[in-house]
Amino acid sequence: MAGIDWELLRAKAIEATARSYAPYSGLAVGAAAVVGDGRIITGCNVENASYGLALCAECTLVGQLRMTGGGRLTAFACRGGDGQLLMPCGRCRQLLYEHGGPDCLVDAPDGIVTVARILPYAFGPEHLPE
């Protein structure tokens, strides 16, 4: 947790909600993460009329990670448009595991926890045959 400006990360997540496309649910979601090289990247949710094809903020954040040079996520925060803490869904917890690893820090209702805590017994690339 040392060196992570959680207030800045939360503010960046809230700021990202302004770019959200949520005409169906009305729930604007923004995500922000610190990358291993110190960059802060953001993402927002992008809904779709077919609902199931909507992209969570974490999905666009990982796209931003890849588009800006890759790396590993080290800390993550997610907020709604009014600033409320939101937790990643199951698919997005898997994305955080894949792109940040089990030790990536997550802003959670009970404080700062690891991805391993919110996704125990995760399946990842290390489980695939070589």
Q: Which residues are catalytic?
A: 58
| Residues linked to residue 80 through DSSP beta bridges, in sequence order | 29
Per DSSP, the three-state class of 26 is: coil
Query: Is residue 56 packed enough to be buried (19+ CB in 10 Å), middle (13-18) or exposed (0-12)?
Result: buried
